[in-house]
Amino acid sequence: MTDPEPRVLPEGALGRTVRMLRLPLGAATRATVSTGRKLLGADAAQVDQYMSRAAADQLFAVLGELKGGAMKVGQILSTMEAMLPEEVAAPFRDRLQALQDSAPPMPTSRVHAVLRAELGPGWRSSFSEFEARPAAAASIGQVHRARWATSGRPVAVKVQYPGADAALRSDLRQLERLAAAASPLTGGIDVRSMVREMTSRIGQEVDYVQEGAAQNQMAEALAGHPRFTVPRVHLATARVLVSDWVDGTKLAAMAARPPAERNRAALDYVSFLFAGPGLAGILHADPHPGNFLVTPDGRLAAIDFGLTADFPGGLPTPMGELIRRAVDGDAEAMLAGLVEEGFAQPGTLDAQALLDYLNPFVEPARVEEFSFSREWTREQFRRVQSSLSPDDIALKLNIPPSYVMVYRVWLGGIAVLAQLDVTENFAAVLRQYLPGFARS
């Protein structure tokens, strides 16, 4: 009698919740151990360093093992780590970034089972070669390199984990409940709001047919583009997506390259995020760097379209107009526009106080060259977190539904530029790709 095949995603809500509880409970246990070691005379700095490494190892193990929504939150945190205090971010930086495409892989037998269910018992005939070892493993699926039989072209075969939909829903429900307990691990980032926004997008995240359509729409719009490329999709089913293979350097790895090379890649990255709606009617709404490569010929490749938003007319013109008014220091016009777009209620905010509050956020758009750094993003994050009160400006501002994904891309894109330590002309990107920003 053979042993039962191991599950890829623990599907029971109770089992997944117990595993996630290991994070806050583990933090409490480490705090107790740390205090005991210090009382026994151990060096405090060494104890803290050891405990931080242990916490980072546990975070990677739990989120990577669970995959699903738990790992998806970890991937978002990896993008946002530039906003966290260095003492919080440093031990977790490498481990969180590893969650972008390095989760524990699915057993080969499960991969074959999914391919057989989606493509039929003769699925192997679609490929002249198929590598059993995954090239990447992420939150809801993993990617294998193969060769498309009809053309001989190298392709990427994305295979969704069985039970990914149920696991995502279960995780996100439990993570919302555990948000307060998990806050020591996230440096104060609002996990609850993040999880709610992710919950509303579950259907899109696990629908490879929809993802394939969005990817092909972008690929066709960018065919022959000198700076951007998107791999063409050959086949898409509910749980399998086959697209052209793209070789390249991970965007995050560009942080180690010389400044000129790093800055160019980062400028292409943020340009792509803003250009997508105008060029193809699609906003790529998942800006974490694991979704982007720099190809050998220097172009930026976007390789994952699991989360997008439709903007058939391009980005909203009022967004560019509002940022322009803030850059020009026109407080009254800016406030009027924010009220009109639903960001604020009439009569609740002082125009000049609001402009003073927003000035640091629009600083990169005000100058012809700006240096994005962890220090700058942390200062803005500290400023917002330390000033929250019932009368605070931040609590009187809203994000209208039509701007939620744009806001996520803006915030995540800026965080990635800070991780890469980029100095570039961000304002020029806005002038070219954000309607309403350029002066007429």
Three-state secondary structure of the chain: CCCCCCCCCCCCHHHHHHHHHHHHHHHHHHHHHHHHHHHCCCCHHHHHHHHHHHHHHHHHHHHHHHCHHHHHHHHHHHHHHHHCCHHHHHHHHHHHHHCCCECCCCCHHHHHHHHHHHHCCCHHHHEEEECCCCCEECCCEEEEEEEECCCCCEEEEEEECCCHHHHHHHHHHHHHHCHHHHHHHHCCCCHHHHHHHHHCCHHHHCCHHHHHHHHHHHHHHCCCCCCEECCCEEEECCCEEEEECCCCEEHHHHHHCCHHHHHHHHHHHHHHHHHHHHHHCEEECCCCHHHEEECCCCCEEECCCCCEEECCCCCCHHHHHHHHHHHCCCHHHHHHHHHHHCCCCCCCCCHHHHHHHHHHHHHHHHCCCEECCHHHHHHHHHHHHHHCCCCCHHHHCCCCHHHHHHHHHHHHHHHHHHHCCCEECHHHHHHHHCCCCCCC
Residue tagged 């089913």 (tokens): 237
What is d(CA 302, CA 300) in angstroms, rounded to the nearest whole number? 7
Question: What is the rounded distance in angstroms from the CA atom of residue 58 to the CA atom of residue 28?
Answer: 13
Dihedral pair phi/psi, residue 420, rounded to 5°? -85, -5
Q: What is the pLDDT of residue 71?
A: 53
Query: Is residue 179 a contact partner of residue 191, using CB atoms and an 8 Å limit?
Result: yes
Tell me what pLDDT residue 203 has: 61
* Residue type for position 140: I
Taking the CA atoms of 188, 190, 195 and 197 in sequence, report the sign of the dihedral they define: negative
Residue by residue, pLDDT tens for the chain (440 residues) are: 343 443 444 444 434 344 444 444 344 333 433 334 333 444 444 434 444 455 445 444 545 444 444 555 555 565 666 666 666 555 556 555 555 555 567 788 989 999 999 999 999 999 999 999 999 877 788 999 999 999 999 999 999 988 777 766 666 666 565 555 454 444 444 555 555 665 566 667 788 999 999 999 999 999 999 999 999 999 999 999 999 999 999 998 999 999 999 999 999 999 999 999 999 999 999 898 889 999 999 999 999 998 899 999 899 999 999 999 999 999 999 999 999 999 999 999 999 999 988 888 899 999 999 999 988 888 887 777 665 555 678 778 888 888 888 988 998 899 899 989 999 999 999 999 999 999 86
Tokens of 90: 């440093």
Residue at token pair 């720099």: 294
Q: In this structure, are residues 161 and 106 in contact, taking their beta carbons and an 8 Å threshold?
A: yes
Domain assignments of the chain as residue spans, ordered by start: 13-104+165-202, 317-433
| Amino acid found at 91 | P
Residue 195 to residue 178: CA distance in whole angstroms: 11
Phi, psi of 313 (to 5 degrees): -100, 15
